[in-house]
Chains A and B, each alone.
Chain A
């Protein structure tokens, strides 16, 4: 009831989203006073939506929960297991990157481009794209996987790979079962059991009886391994005892490996799993420390930041033709922001926010005009280039980010504001009104000489049904108004209208005041709200699950990582020490 009636304005945790923080409630008094306040005034704008029963239930919940237990962080000694709030077990289909990384890791980088399937996954505009519930196998992408496996098997069996030459150099008996005997454990990220081998062996025997050649049998063995759910899904299921599932060492090895380096467990992890070491937090810490020093971790971090900012969408986001945003410019913008991120991800002893703060801008002649630079002194190569600190501050002022989140032909105050609140600040907003109406402008007002900000206010945000949410959404968009639809810095729009990028944005307990876009992005990047959300999003990508702000594990993580000095290394280690790395609940 709190979620449906209250959280859109007061935040899921009662710390304020578009409206007041419940901990600062000045009309609450006692439970009775709170009941009266809710009954007569809540929710805005239709108080009748919550009658006597609803108001009483909410008053009790708010008074006895939020007000009696202030704070958003779970610092209690009670574990999530004790609270009955562990994350559920899950199967995680390999992402396209993980699929390729696994094949290449096991067999080598010997495959043609046609070997990689199209999973056709939808890219959500909010949350993280590797959400396990969004990654499915369906009738469309399974065909593509099947054809991918065909190419992989053909490549293996006709190349100089060990499997390709086996029948030339060894006996058929030595070759037929080699795929699953030698590569099965690496592909399935765990040793094959007798129960796994039995049906494989039986199929191979039937195949031989039906006249299948040794080559047929090898091809079958490989296809069975690669098309099996054991390969295509990562298992985080565990073994259940009294409602709690404990992941085994191999499952933990995969979780750590794919989440940290984007590929299957290496030999050291597999050995540790074989010795059942990975159920010990100290051993986990040791392996995490090793994995995050690898080059692949940097690549994973890059993918995380891009997913957080959704900048891959720059390649396809529609823009009006007159803006002349060519494919080459889109490619260059994406590469440019990737280089900005890469320039910061090498140092693990800095905050996770450091890459977002990056002021290393890489520019070439194609995109120079978007940075306010002339292309004369630049080549086609992206190069670290100085840009005005009066105009830009961090990745939130990078044209790739700004263009991705603007509208087709304009800056998009609401669009940028919504992305900032929902994706980057993890705020909750209510649904828009059923019917959006638009107020008429005053008859003497000329839209061509009126700012977009003023037009938005007059037509839309000033209306009662809109103002509740728009008084938060709009400031989050005003802060980017120094940048047009392509992220070009500007102080005027429509040739003559001055830009006003000032505002005051309330994010939970924080209020950000700013007079221009550089101040806005600076304040945003320094806010605890953004830091906490960035950490939560990282945890979501690590765990492949969408997490509520109020989820036990998220609160535990935030409690251990919100300090000013928390580094990337600290955050990864904190995640790896959470109960959810090893334990899953079966509440459902």
Chain B
């Protein structure tokens, strides 16, 4: 008898995803005839029931805005408001925007280090121990899985995880995504590698030596049994290593099965990559490739969730100094973006100007990506952007470590984010609360008051939290969930 494997020995019951229940639907066959969808897309669409919601999470190192400063720059009413200048690239998508002017993140310890693991999990308890050994840096670990992983499980398809130089402390990528065993999930750090793995070098179900099909039919069950036998003799930490192996093995098995039944995209048509990344891409080219891969994967429905972390090491943007001179990049100004630019407060005016230009540069890239989704027709006849929610977030709200009011921008989603008879183009002016007496859970799950903790500064913060947002995103995607992460991070009052 095949040994049974308990993969989620750390999982709390309320974190388990609900089963997906999608009905079969009629496809728009004409799309294929018109050359809008590839044959592979149509084949996959036939197997689908309704257009699924796709989700793209885009954390930007140091955040997407100026925290409370930026929130003060937004004025007007819910459907008639001004966008701060650094977000001006989103003007062309105004009818697709939901601007949330502040969500509260966890607030203890060194801002960046704590927040990486907390950003998509809301699951890092108060003063959690660093997991330098397994996370590659001084990062505390999460106690729960990340939202992208829950969605990945829910959809039964892999998640695209890309890091465009979003890293530090020698780790090749920040620990953002976690499974139920609290293991950090890997990111592609080079578009070239991602392309090779996702498209070019897809393991083949054929082989020059032997009949690969019948070999594989025996191979994977053999490996699973091998792991199951070994698990019995290991402690939890070592079991996790083999369970990660098992996950990887099964992921490959699915991929091989998929490769055997579909055609991998190649450049040249609407649902295929516009170009093949090479090894020496610039950061901007690499970013374009990542967006391209997300679009193609969503169009072909090979993946439905993507995480794209964007880091600060990029000199390919333009800015104008306070005397009106134009510059390319920041390296002539400083070699230390983090301390001399992102921490712009108290610095010369040019530091803020560089920070603004840098943020605006990426806003422009995201806006172009969203536009490309809007110009793609999905299997239900709506645009791909209507069936995709893009969330812009960050480990902090701004470069000055603000985590009380982290601005978020939600793009797309179509009718899913309908409010009354209005769809998007909305500003959610989040109420503020005083959190002087705030508390949270420690690693044992006990609620602790931390108002006297020097690291937990009292102040005015957003009423809602990023956990609230991830709960909503999960619900919109069909997950049965009412809360997310640790209990104190849930207000259950965010209405998007």
A residues adjacent to B (C-beta < 8 A): 4, 46, 48-49, 88-91, 93, 118, 120-127, 131, 133-134, 136-144, 146-147, 150, 153-154, 157-158, 195, 199-200, 203, 206-207, 210-213, 215-216, 218-220, 223-224, 227-230, 232-233, 237, 318, 320-321, 407-410, 431-432, 434-438, 440, 546, 586, 588
Contacts and interface: CB of A to CB of B under 8 A. Distances in A.
Interface string B169-188: 11111000000000101101
B207 A143 contact: no
B335 A122 contact: no
9 contacts: A91-B242, A133-B237, A142-B251, A211-B211, A211-B214, A227-B249, A431-B110, A432-B110, A546-B132
Nearest to B403: A434
B203 interface: yes
Nearest to A240: B233
Given A91-B238, A431-B113, 7 more contacts: A125-B170, A142-B245, A146-B203, A150-B203, A154-B209, A409-B335, A431-B110
Contacts of B186: 120, 136, 138-141
B230 interface: yes
Given A46-B454, A211-B214, A199 B226 contact: yes
- Chain B CB within 10 Å — which of A120, A215, A436 has the most? A120
A143 B194 CA distance: 12
Given A228-B226, A320-B335, A407-B336, A134 B134 contact: yes
Interface string B337-349: 0010001001100
B133 A546 contact: yes
B89 interface: no
Given A91-B238, A120-B186, A407-B336, A131 B245 contact: no
B255 A91 contact: no
Contacts of A588: 235-237
B286 to A, nearest CB: 15
B219 interface: yes
A407 B335 CA distance: 7
Given A237-B238, A431-B138, A215 B252 contact: no
- Chain B CB within 10 Å — which of A140, A144, A228, A431 has the most? A140
A137 B454 CA distance: 40
Given A203-B218, A408-B335, A124 B171 contact: yes
A89 B238 contact: yes
B331 A138 contact: no
A157 B209 contact: yes
A138 B252 CA distance: 10
B346 A438 contact: yes
Contacts of A123: 170, 172
B81 interface: no
Interface of B: 109-111, 113, 127, 132-134, 136-138, 158, 169-173, 183, 185-186, 188-189, 193, 197, 201, 203-204, 207-211, 214-215, 217-219, 221-223, 225-227, 229-230, 233-238, 241-242, 244-245, 247-249, 251-252, 255, 313, 331, 335-336, 339, 343, 346-347, 400-401, 452-455
A195 B232 CA distance: 14
A215 B210 contact: yes
Q: Which 7 A-B pairs have the closest CB atoms?
A: A125-B170, A408-B335, A142-B248, A216-B210, A219-B210, A122-B172, A133-B133
A320 B331 contact: yes
B172 A200 contact: no
Nearest to B211: A216
B335 A410 contact: yes
Given A142-B251, A207-B215, A232 B245 contact: yes
A147 B398 CA distance: 43
Given A122-B172, A141-B186, A213 B331 contact: no
B214 A227 contact: no
Contacts of A203: 218-219, 221-222
Given A154-B209, A227-B223, A408-B331, A136 B244 contact: yes
Nearest to A239: B233
Contacts of A88: 235, 237
A281 B193 CA distance: 47
Contacts of A91: 234, 238, 241-242
A413 to B, nearest CB: 12
A153 to B, nearest CB: 6
Contacts of A127: 132
A320 B242 CA distance: 42
Contacts of A233: 241-242
Nearest to B347: A438
Given A228-B223, A431-B109, A124 B241 contact: no
B215 A220 contact: yes
Given A122-B171, A122-B172, A237-B234, A215 B209 contact: yes
Contacts of B169: 124-125
A233 B188 CA distance: 23
A436 B111 CA distance: 11
Contact of B208 (A89, A154, A218, A228): A154
A48 B347 contact: no
